[in-house]
Amino acid sequence: MVHRPRTDSRQFSRRSRDVLVALSIAALVATVGDYLAPANAQLWWANAAWTLTGVVGVGGVAAARRRAAPSDRSGWTLLLGGCVTWLVGSLLWSIYGVAGFPASPNGADFCWLAFAVLAALAVHRLGPGRAAVSRTWFEVAPLVIAVSALLSALLWNHISGSDLAVPAAVTAVAYPIFYVSTALVMLQAVVSGALDLRANRGLAAVLVGLVLEALAFILWSPLLLTETYVVGTNVVDALWGVGMLFVGLGALSAGPPRAVADVDRVSQRRGGVLSSLTFVVLAVAQALEILADAPAGVELALGVGMSVVGATLIARASMLRHQQTVLFDRLRERERELEDANRRLNEESRRDPLTGLANRLALREDLIELAARSERYGETYCLVLCDLDRFKDYNDQLGHQAGDRALREVAALLESHTRAGDCAYRYGGEELLLVLHGQDGDAGAAIAERHRANIEAAALPHPANPPMEVLTFSAGVAAAQPGETPAEVLLRADRALYRAKAAGRNQTAIAGPDQPLGPAALSSLT
C-alpha cells in the first residue's frame, strides 16, 4: 500500500491565498481592459472580470467558513451562499452576452438580489452581540421603508419617464432598495456595537465590499430605468468587481467576529444614530424638492419616509424611557434589599449565634444609650448578672454539645419570662445579663428570683450540681445609683454574684456597698 503524505493545513492555506491573490490581479487587469478595450470586446473583458471576482469572493468566504468557530459558521455559510449566487449571476450574464439578454427580471437578477438578502442575514448571524443584533432588525426595518421612499423620490423622474415594462422597472428599483437595506443592516450592527471592527480589518474589508456593491446598484438603477447602461462607460463596472474583491480577500484574512464590551449599553446609546441621520437627510431632501416644485408624488414619498422614521424615533424614546423606569425600579428594589440585608446583618451582629440572645456588642451600645437617658432624664435601672452553677463540671461530664443545648434552653426560658422593654444578654460563657428598666434593687432582686425559680422548676438534669442535680443559677443584682456609670453598676452586680456563689449557689444577692471580696470567698468559688 502506498501512503500519500498529508498536506499541511498551513501550506494549503498559503496556496489558497496565493491562488486568490493571482485571480484578484487577473480580475483587476480584466477590469482595466473593460474600459480600454474596443467597444466590441468590452463586454468580454467585463464578464471575465466579474466572473473572476466572483470566484475570489467564493474562495475567500469558503476559507473563512472553514476556519470559523462553530458559533460563527452559520453566518459565513450564508455569505458563502450569497457569493455563489453572485457568481452564478455573473455566469448567466456571460451566457446572455452570447445568447442575447432576456427581459428583466431574469435569472441573473434573481441571483444578484438573492446575494443582497443572504449578505444581510449573514451579518445578522455573525454579530456576537445577540441582543443588539435583534434590535438591529427593529431599528432597520423602518429605515428600509424610509430609504425606499427616499430612493423612489430621487428616481421619480426616471421611473415616470421609463419605457420599461412594469416587472423590469420594479426590478431596477428593487436593486438599490435591497442593497441599501443590506448596507443599513451592516452599519447598524457596527454602530450598535454588535460587530467590533477596530481589531478585525478583514471583516471591515468585507463590509466595505458590501457597501461598494450597494453603491454600484444605486448608480446602476437609473441607467436601467432609462436604458442607457453601456458596458465600459460607467464606474459601476469597477465597483462591482472591486466590491467583490474586498469581500473575498477580506474574508480570507478576517478574524473571529467580536462585539464591543458592554454591547447592550453601546446599542442603547448609539442605536438611534442612523434613524436620526436618515430623518435629517429626508428633511433636507423634502425641503429641496419643495423649493424645486417637485411632483406631488415625490413630496408624498418623502413625507411617508419622514413619518416612518419619526415614529421610529418616538418609539425608541418611549422604549428607552420604559427601560429607564424599569432600571430605576430595579435600583430601588436593590436598595430596599440592601437596606434589609444591612438591617439583618446589624441584627445578626448584635445576636449571640448560640443562644439567640443579644451579645456583648449590643450590650455595649445599649449601655451607652442607657447611661445617656439616665443622666438626661434621671431614669433608674437595674442590672442582674446570672451564672449557671458548676457549668464547667456539666461540660466535663456531659460534653460541650450538651452544654450548648443547656445554654440554649436556659436562654429561651430567661427570654420568655423577660418583661417587655427589658433585655437579656449573653455576657460570656455561661454568664447571662438582664437589664431592667425603671427598677430599684428590691424589684430587680424579685425579678431575678422569679427567673431563678423558673430555671430550677424546669428541672434540666445536671448530675454534677448537688443536691438537686438540676441546672440552677446564681444572680447578682445591682441598681444604678446617682452619678454611677453602667460599668460601675455592672462591677457591683458581679461582686454580688460572687457573694451568691459563696453563700451556696442557686440564690440571688443584692449589691451592697462597693467593697472587695475577701480571699476566703474567692477561694470557695469553683
* CA 179 – CA 109 distance, rounded (Å): 13
Burial tier of 520 (Cβ tally within 10 Å: 0-12, 13-18, 19+): exposed
C-alpha cell at position 94? 456571460
To the nearest 10°, the Cα dihedral for 192, 196, 201, 204?
-20
N-to-C CA span, the chain: 97
Residue 423 pairs in a beta bridge with 435
C-alpha cell at position 503? 453563700
Phi, psi of 95 (to 5 degrees): -65, -40
To which residue does cell 460570656 refer?
428
Please confirm, yes or no, whether 430 is among the known catalytic residues.
yes
Amino acid at 171: T
Is 499:476 a contact under the CB 8 Å cutoff? Answer: yes
* CA 196 – CA 201 distance, rounded (Å): 10
**Which residue among 430, 431, 469, 488 is the active-site one?**
430
To the nearest 10°, the Cα dihedral for 110, 112, 118, 120?
-120
Q: What angle do CA 421, 422, 427 make, to 5 degrees?
A: 145
C-alpha cell at position 477? 443584682
Cα 305 versus chain centre, distance = 34
* CA 360 – CA 383 distance, rounded (Å): 14
Residue 358 pairs in a beta bridge with 351, 425
Phi, psi of 515 (to 5 degrees): -125, 145
Question: Which positions are catalytic?
Answer: 430
